[in-house]
Amino acid sequence: MLHASASVVIAWLMGAAGGAYVLWQLKQVLSCEQGNDTMREISAAIQEGASAFLGREYRILAVFVAIVAVIMTIFLQWQSALCFVVGAVASAGAGYLGMYVAVRANVRTAAAASHGLHEGLRVAFGSGAIMGMSVVSFSLLGMTTLYLVFSGNANQLVYVTGFGFGASSIALFARVGGGIYTKAADVGADLVGKVEQGIPEDDPRNPAVIADNVGDNVGDVAGMGADLFESYSGSIIAAATLGAAFGGDAAGAFIGLPFLVAAVGVLSSLFGIYIVIGEEWDQGINTFIGKLPAAIGGVAAQGFKFIKSHLAQIDENASLAELLATLRRSVWGASVAVLGLSLLAVLLAGVSIYYWLVILAGLIAGNAIAYVTEYYTSYTEKPTQGISEATQTGAATTIIQGLAVGMMSTVLPVLIVAVAILISIWLGMKADGTIAAGLYAVALSGVGMLSTLGVTLATDAYGPVADNAGGIAEMSHLPHEVRLRTDALDSLGNTTAATGKGFAIGSAVLTALALLAAYVAAAKVENLNVLSPTMLPGVLIGAMLPYLFSALTMMAVGRAAHQIVLEVRRQFREIPGLMEGTGKPDYKACVGISTESALHQMILPGALAVVVPLVVGFVLGKEALAGLLIGATASGFLLAVMMANAGGAWDNAKKWIETGEYGGKGSDAHKAAVVGDTVGDPFKDTSGPALNILIKLMSIVSLVFASAFGSGWLSF
């Protein structure tokens, strides 16, 4: 049986290996050609806007982190405060690195797409792989280092929980701030450019086009990276905390197992990445195989030959279904690899084989949610095509159909997660006979679901790069076939982004449930009767919070977009020759409006997640706070799935029409689809994805401050 520290050391080594890959892949991406001077100039403007926004956002967050760290030092322990700061810095660092490479990969993807579809995919996916592997590597390195630093301290895991609090705090502000920025610019650019002026998407005459491209990076890359960093870290912390609570003499094995599963996930994710863009690895692999003993080398060579036969082979006429199949193979390949290696992890940890089945349940649930999300959001499937059909009778029917699709799409994810929870609890109780073991199993299934995050996030993060590449191709007037290639990659990115959000939301429920269980144990909550005087009010307040949070973020996007619309209209009206292409738009004005609006309006929604649990915990008591977490998790899960899938379906319904259906671009159906896409933008990229952070951040705040809550100031 491996001791917890040994498992943590293995995870640290795998985190370091993932970090080494990130550096190597970064060098590969940055060595690609950047195209002509016009392309470089446009890319530089996007880089400047993204860096300026993140710089200002991080300065604001630094003040928040400092204030919270002081409060934690006063009311808790300095060790927890230190872990909080490290978690915040690591989360921000992963998001910044992802943004850094994305704003440099966009122009390189456009240049590569000039040579072929596969070349464009390799560059864009390579940048996504940097994001995915940096998230898992920074998380593992941060948590394992802190765990080893505080080794031997009775509050070791309590301190490390602060790391998750720091990651969650940064994630929420980054997701909300970036989401407001990107969707305000996107909505403003679409409403005036495409609907009012009738010019193409990413037309250089549109004053909001650079702000729109900047938003893709600060929202869908930096914000998303911080989001999934928090999901990944929280799942491991929740499982380790519950393992320590129920494990008894074998607690070390149960603490170490989630770290081991995460460690094998790093190797498995590298395998999944290789399936898509592994050609440049071949020489090194063949050299390594050649140095093995003959018998082993022969088997390895045959295995390598088999794998190579399943690598991505994409030609210029590849359909969306074929492109999706390529990325699906990489995720499934990584899932099979992690399943096999997790069996070894379970055996090394010395725990029951039932826990390996728990990991299997998490993997199956994650892939099932991804498949369901893909079905409801891909334009090759009936739900999204039904929205496209509804555009023929106007914007109203487009909105109605999209909302119905979003609501319908909640059914299967809820059933999948419910079954995964039931199976996990049953397997945990079969293994160790207690409900505590069942709850530990739920947390472990969440770790299993996110174990392949290195590659699943890569399939998500490459989408904004492809989107930017299409904008650069349009603004640089590259040949039409280049834009067709980047559009194919962008359409694929919309679907994989939707599946990534579904993955994150599903894992959030499992993690939030595990964190809730850890909070109940830490706060010594003995009464979970929903009819108690404070429990039911807590449930109702919790169920209301996701709606309040979504309303605040939606209105923030609306206000910022209103300012963008007025500015773009002013420029079209006042700048001579702008529509004719002889006038020069003022891109910086729109970038400035988006930046100011996002930074000011992210504060209130972000503060809710931290302040409300503390107020409820101190005023109504620890039982009411447990109720709040239950209500928020249930309503937040449903609302997040509905918003993310409705938004993704509206977006791809528009793209389906743009392929030539129902009159194609410029038709009345297309204009109605643009309105649907505009409504869906804050659904899928601001409010929806931020909800999964909201429910986990409230859970981890409650866990961190659990020892400070009592019966409440208004106790009965």
Answer whether residue 64 is part of any domain.
yes
Distances (CA, A) of 598 to 122, 180, 394: 32, 5, 31
CB 138 within 8 A of CB 33: no
Domain membership of residue 282 as a residue range: 4-708
User: Looking at residue 312, what is its pLDDT?
Assistant: 52
Report yes or no on 42 lying in a domain: yes
For tokens 């706070």, what's the residue?
625
Q: Pick from 633, 601, 602, 247: which is nearest to 436 by CA?
A: 247
pLDDT at 319: 62
Classify residue 713: in a domain, yes or no.
no
Q: How far apart are CA 564 and CA 191, in angstroms?
A: 10
Give the per-residue pLDDT at 596: 80
Question: What distance in Å separates the CA atoms of residue 134 and residue 613, rounded to the nearest whole number?
Answer: 31
Q: Among residues 27, 40, 447, 67, which one has the least CA distance to residue 232? A: 447
Residue type, 164: G
Query: How many domains are contained in the chain?
Result: 1
The verdict on residue 301 lying in a domain is yes
Instruction: Specify if 476 maps to a domain.
Output: yes
Count CA atoms within 13 Å of residue 540 on its CB side.
7
Please indicate, yes or no, if residue 716 is contained in any of the structural domains.
Answer: no
Q: How far apart are CA 472 and CA 574, in angstroms?
A: 26
CA-closest candidate to residue 348, choices 466, 469, 231, 260:
260
Angle 651-322-376 (CA atoms, 0-180°, nearest 5)? 35
Question: What is the pTM for the complete model shown?
Answer: 0.84
Distance separating alpha carbons of residues 304 and 299, to the nearest angstrom: 9
Q: Quick one: how far is CA 302 from the chain centroid?
A: 36
d(Cα 537, Cα 565) in Å, to the nearest integer?
A: 41
The answer to whether residue 715 sits within a structural domain is no
The CA angle 82-150-156, to the nearest 5 degrees, is 90
In a domain, 192, yes or no: yes
Cα 509 from Cα 638, distance rounded (Å): 10
**pLDDT given at position 201:** 66
Q: In the chain, how long is the greatest CA-to-CA distance?
A: 78
Low-confidence spans in the chain with pLDDT less than 70: 1, 152, 154, 201-202, 247-249, 278-292, 295-297, 299-301, 303-321, 494-495, 497-502, 710-712, 714-716
Separation CA 157–CA 269 (nearest Å)? 27
Q: 404-437 b/e with 16+ CB inside 10 Å = b?
A: bbbeebbebbeebbeebbebbbbbbbebbeeebb
CA–CA distances in Å: residue 144 to residues 314, 421, 664, 666:
40, 27, 53, 54
- How many C-beta atoms surround the C-beta of residue 266 within 10 A? 27
**Could you tell me the two tokens for 228?**
């999934």
Handedness of CA 87, 90, 94, 99 (dihedral sign): positive
C-beta contacts of 22-31 below 8 A and 24+ residues apart: 22/97, 22/130, 22/133, 22/134, 22/137, 25/126, 25/129, 25/130, 25/133, 26/101, 26/130, 28/126, 28/280, 29/101, 29/104, 29/105, 29/108, 29/123, 29/126, 29/127, 29/130, 30/101, 30/104, 30/108
CA-nearest of 176, 157, 17 to 83 is 157
Using CA atoms, how far apart are residues 111 and 37, in angstroms rounded to an integer?
12
The rounded percent of the chain whose pLDDT value lies above 90 is: 21
What pLDDT sits at residue 309? 62
Q: Which of 92, 94, 180 is nearest to 133 (CA)?
A: 94
Q: How far is Cα 575 from Cα 570, in angstroms, rounded to an integer?
A: 8
Per-residue pLDDT of 464-504, as tens digits, reads: 888 788 878 877 878 888 877 877 777 777 667 666 666 77
What pLDDT score does 531 carry?
A: 74
Using CA atoms, how far residue 369 sits from 265, 461, 509, 511, in Å, is 19, 18, 12, 16
